[in-house]
Chain A
Amino acid sequence: MSDTTRIETIAGYAAAALLVIGLGVVLALEPTRIDAAADHLVAEQLDGAMTTYAENCAVCHGLSGEGIGATPPLATDALRSVAPEDLQKTISRGLFDTAMPAWAIAEGGPLSDYAVAELAVLIREGDWGDVRDRTVNLGLAPLVPFTTEPDPAVLEVVGALDDGAVLVAGLETYARDCVACHGADGAGTALAPALDDPALRETSADEVVRTISLGVSGTLMAGWEGTLAPADLDALAALIGRWDEVPAGAVPPPANDVPVTEESLALGESLYQANCAQCHGTDGQGTRMIPPLNEQAFLADTPDLAITQIVTQGVPGTPMPAWGDRMTAAEIQAIVGYVRAWEPTAPEVATPSRPAQAGPPWMRDESATVAAAEPTDWRGIALAGGVLLAAAGLLGAGFASFVRHARRPPAGEG
């Protein structure tokens, strides 16, 4: 046997051994791999489902599945034990006579069967704390006031009106079952129209009762016939017909705090430093002419919803611009969360600093304007240099060897 033959033979046996051992190892690891793959699959499906939930379900079922008003909670042990196909059926086709619409594409909804199946996995195996974080980070945490208590002082005033008792009953029912969608004081939200509306007051009480009882098909408005007693329905109809008599603040908005996560705080900080710090100061201490934010007087008196509104719409007549068309709801929410996080340590009275980039040079606060230098990308330089070097080397070596062999006769004669 020649050396080459021997090496080849050894290589052949080695390869065959490797093949057998390799397949053996795969066989031994296969049960573990299948389990791991199944776990991984559930994790991926939960991941997809959380986004679907945040985008479609959180608005009614709450940002962590806690249920809102009349919409039932999903974060319950009972639902965890429901068969996946039953959950899928309910989500796909909706529930008759409730606000739950059909979500499957086949039923006219927006969700694919795969997305519905993922949601069923979420309801059975999901972590609702993670769902809350996902919803917040996507900026989809519902900001509408969901449940609230009627103001007793205003209820007393209403009760003193002509036939006021029925209005009080209507307001109590409204605060319990309707405010989640129709908003504080019946002012309406993105979900449902205002009920404190002159056009509605023209509608007959019978028609209002019929609408509430049967719902409006094709919208989120459910039929309430089975849920509300006839007396409640009449009280609501009376309230809707006479809302102009009810003073503002009867069903006030709750002090809903903007929800935050670590991720949203980080986003809020970077957005604040990029867009707001110029005028309001890097620590919210304010600058000349621009009010501070990091101050007890401001933070204590201004609820999150109010800050959100100021950021979104600006303050007319002041330098505060409207940011609503420049930032997404998630970004504004993140900034509000970042500003709110100052409250525990905020000074009673802030000390405004000079604006960072205004006035003559000697008055500028240089420390605030030094931009972080871009780090030199050595890898890029090395790569580009390497390619150039290789090209030059090939070209040079080729040319040198060409010159050496150029005058030689073709292969064979030399």
Chain B
Amino acid sequence: MARTPDTDTTTGEPRSGLGRLRRRLSPPGIPQDDRSRARLVLDTLVLHLHPARIPAPTLRWTYTWGLGGLAALLLLLLVATGVFLQANYTPAAPDAYLDVLDLRSDVWFGDLIRNIHHWSANLLIVVAVLHLLRVFLTGAYRPPREVNWIFGVLMLLLVLAANFTGYLLPWDQLAFWAITVGTSLLTYIPLVGDRLASLLLGGPEVSGATLLKFYSLHISVIPLSLFALMSLHFWRVRKDGGLTLPRRVDEEPEEKPERVTTIPHLVRREAVWALSWLAAIVVFAAFVAAPLEGIADPAVSPNPAKAPWYFMGVQELLLHFHPFVAAVVVPGIVIGGLLLLPFLDVDSASVGVWFRSRRGRSLAAMAAGLSLALTPAWVLADELVLDWAGLLAGWPAVVANGFVPLTVAVVVLAALDRWVAWSLEGTVEERVLFVVSFLFVALVVLTVIGIFFRGPGMELTWPWAIPAAH
């Protein structure tokens, strides 16, 4: 019998099933010319995320800072380490805590994996917020990219949810009380708040039932939704025409930017970026341990009991506003406003320019400066001088201590906006930039005050005066 050749002579297809499988899944070799490289991208699954060619300007480090890609990398890293953690974890009290202790003192690399998971999760929040900020500041969410902006905001909420549910899993004092404080915010939602809280907690307070619910949300519902949204997000990036083109502030938009092949120009940068962060995270996690306190004890509450750090802005608001306003109205307005942004700010002339224009840069700096001064001033004034409940004695607390101060804050912000509009002749995009910059800095300031300047009894104090937890 004549020996059949390995490949079909007419189509070039390998004859063996394994050979065909290899050809479908992996590149046949590293081609040398750009054209074959472009072909390679089209022919493989992983590289198919990217177009074969991309505009050269979008490669600028100082435009995207690789934040979206970094977020995706962190998500993959979290899944990989999460699977290992899951293999040594029982979602029950107190076994969960004992398992985490075991990770530390019995399991090889257990501590490293846990530290990587912990720090990546915290880094992901920072990176996701910075990514959102980058897209906002370069106007990259304007039509036709509104929908992808909405996906992005939803993913940020899911990342927060993933972090929050994961916070409980070690079942230590830190976890127990942060989740107790965090979930108590839910009860201020009118009508359904109490039921929602007891549905989430599986009872009136944080318990083993809560642990099981949070665990299942943390390992299935939230990551699956995140990956679904991430796929949509990537798909929309390509459908909306790729990244927006970066421009310097005085540059004309290029009609026909130079295009380069994805391999090697983009893929090398991605690989370098991913490797660098991977190395940084592993080294950091090898030397800085994720916090772990004593076993959860419902009878002993730490003072101060603080929510996870990314919710400290909201907890700080709670000290100044009625809980309904601080925990429901303000976050509702912020999330709603974020979702509406691409429909308010639609002038696509300045897309791709950081801070829109030179005027925009000045306005953003002014907004940041004003917020940096006014937000701490408000916190101090409210703490030391203002007494809304006393001034408006007899009014319901939610009005006297909630809507009245909220209205004052909104009036101050509206006055600033009017000043920009009338005195500085700001356009809509400049006013949006001004207000969002102001609010973002305010959120950062509130979060910093909540984390570093609140001591026992949530009294204002200096960071170095807060007694150590242990």
8 Å CB interface, A10-62 against B: 11-12, 15-16, 18-19, 22-23, 25-26, 30, 33-34, 37-38, 40-41, 44, 48
Compute how far the CA of A401 lies from the CA of B279 in the bound complex, rounded to whole angstroms.
41
Question: How many Å from the CB of B41 to the closest CB on chain A?
Answer: 19
Binds B, one of A166-174, A334-342, A385-393: A385-393
Counting chain A CB atoms within 10 Å of each CB, the highest count among B275, B282, B294 belongs to: B275
Q: Which residues of A contact B97 (CB under 8 A)?
A: 114
B443 part of interface (Cβ distance < 8 Å):
no
CB pair B365–A397 under 8 Å, yes or no, is yes
A37-B111, A44-B294, A398-B363 known; A11 vs B272 contact (CB < 8 Å): yes
Compute how far the CA of A114 lies from the CA of B93 in the bound complex, rounded to whole angstroms.
10
A8-B268, A37-B104, A411-B250 known; A19 vs B278 contact (CB < 8 Å): yes
Q: Which residues of B contact A23 (CB under 8 A)?
A: 282
A15-B278, A114-B97, A406-B424 known; A398 vs B369 contact (CB < 8 Å): yes
CB pair B112–A398 under 8 Å, yes or no, is no
Q: Mark B266-296, 1 if CB is under 8 A from A, else 0.
A: 0011011001101110110010000000110
Compute how far the CA of A398 lies from the CA of B361 in the bound complex, rounded to whole angstroms.
7
Binds A, one of B177-185, B308-316, B352-360: B352-360
A18-B279, A22-B279, A113-B94 known; A395 vs B359 contact (CB < 8 Å): no
A360 part of interface (Cβ distance < 8 Å):
no
Question: How many Å from the CB of A45 to the closest CB on chain B?
Answer: 9
CB pair B462–A395 under 8 Å, yes or no, is no
Cβ 8 A contact of A411, one of B358, B370, B372: B358
Question: How many Å from the CB of B285 to the closest CB on chain A?
Answer: 9
Q: Which residues of A contact B362 (CB under 8 A)?
A: 398-399, 401-402, 405
Cβ 8 A contact of B282, one of A22, A383, A401: A22
Compute how far the CA of A320 lies from the CA of B112 in the bound complex, rounded to whole angstroms.
61
A377 part of interface (Cβ distance < 8 Å):
yes
Compute how far the CA of A396 lies from the CA of B108 in the bound complex, rounded to whole angstroms.
55
Please tell me the number of chain A residues within 8 Å of chain B, measured between CB atoms. Answer: 50
Counting chain A CB atoms within 10 Å of each CB, the highest count among B252, B278, B362, B367 belongs to: B362
Cβ 8 A contact of A391, one of B275, B361, B370, B462: B370
A226 part of interface (Cβ distance < 8 Å):
no
A30-B109, A387-B376, A405-B362 known; A411 vs B279 contact (CB < 8 Å): no
CB pair A391–B286 under 8 Å, yes or no, is no
A390-B372, A412-B250 known; A401 vs B94 contact (CB < 8 Å): no
B335 part of interface (Cβ distance < 8 Å):
no
Compute how far the CA of A40 lies from the CA of B94 in the bound complex, rounded to whole angstroms.
19
CB pair A405–B359 under 8 Å, yes or no, is yes
Residue of A nearest to B269 (CB): A8
Q: Which residues of A contact B278 (CB under 8 A)?
A: 15, 19
CB pair B369–A114 under 8 Å, yes or no, is no
B373 part of interface (Cβ distance < 8 Å):
yes
Question: How many Å from the CB of A217 to the closest CB on chain B?
Answer: 26
CB pair B94–A112 under 8 Å, yes or no, is yes
Q: Which residues of B contact A112 (CB under 8 A)?
A: 94, 295
Compute how far the CA of A22 lies from the CA of B250 in the bound complex, rounded to whole angstroms.
45
CB pair A15–B424 under 8 Å, yes or no, is no
A380 part of interface (Cβ distance < 8 Å):
yes
Q: Which residues of A contact B112 (CB under 8 A)?
A: 26
B368 part of interface (Cβ distance < 8 Å):
yes
Cβ 8 A contact of A26, one of B268, B286, B358, B368: B286
CB pair A394–B295 under 8 Å, yes or no, is no
CB pair A402–B363 under 8 Å, yes or no, is yes
CB pair B372–A394 under 8 Å, yes or no, is yes
CB pair A18–B104 under 8 Å, yes or no, is no
Chain B contact patch, size range? 35 or more
Cβ 8 A contact of A392, one of B363, B364, B369: B369
CB pair B94–A26 under 8 Å, yes or no, is no
B133 part of interface (Cβ distance < 8 Å):
no
B422 part of interface (Cβ distance < 8 Å):
no
B101 part of interface (Cβ distance < 8 Å):
yes
Q: Which residues of B contact A316 (CB under 8 A)?
A: none
CB pair A114–B295 under 8 Å, yes or no, is yes
A394-B369, A395-B365 known; A37 vs B105 contact (CB < 8 Å): yes
A19-B275, A23-B282, A412-B252 known; A398 vs B364 contact (CB < 8 Å): yes
A16-B279, A25-B286 known; A393 vs B359 contact (CB < 8 Å): no
Cβ 8 A contact of B286, one of A22, A114, A390: A22
Q: Which residues of A contact B363 (CB under 8 A)?
A: 398, 402
B249 part of interface (Cβ distance < 8 Å):
yes
Compute how far the CA of A405 lies from the CA of B430 in the bound complex, rounded to whole angstroms.
14
A22-B286, A408-B358 known; A394 vs B252 contact (CB < 8 Å): no
Q: Which residues of A contact B104 (CB under 8 A)?
A: 37, 41
Compute how far the CA of A391 lies from the CA of B365 in the bound complex, rounded to whole angstroms.
9
8 Å CB interface, A159-187 against B: none
CB pair A377–B462 under 8 Å, yes or no, is yes
Compute how far the CA of A395 lies from the CA of B464 in the bound complex, rounded to whole angstroms.
29
Question: How many Å from the CB of B463 to the closest CB on chain A?
Answer: 8
Question: How many Å from the CB of B252 to the closest CB on chain A?
Answer: 6
Cβ 8 A contact of B365, one of A5, A398, A411: A398
A410 part of interface (Cβ distance < 8 Å):
yes
A326 part of interface (Cβ distance < 8 Å):
no
Compute how far the CA of A396 lies from the CA of B365 in the bound complex, rounded to whole angstroms.
9
Q: Mark B20-41, 1 if CB is under 8 A from A, else 0.
A: 0000000000000000000000
B421 part of interface (Cβ distance < 8 Å):
no
- A-B contact list, 15 entries, CB within 8 Å: A8-B268, A11-B272, A12-B271, A12-B276, A15-B275, A19-B282, A23-B282, A40-B105, A44-B294, A379-B464, A393-B369, A395-B366, A398-B364, A399-B366, A414-B250
7 additional contacts, CB 8 Å, given A37-B111, A406-B359? A5-B268, A15-B280, A26-B286, A391-B369, A391-B372, A398-B369, A401-B361
Pairs A-B, 9 closest by C-beta atoms: A398-B365, A395-B369, A394-B369, A402-B362, A398-B366, A391-B372, A391-B373, A12-B272, A15-B275
Chain A residues proximal to chain B, CB less than 8 Å: 5, 8-9, 11-12, 15-16, 18-19, 22-23, 25-26, 30, 33-34, 37-38, 40-41, 44, 48, 112-114, 377, 379-380, 383, 387-388, 390-399, 401-402, 405-406, 408, 410-412, 414
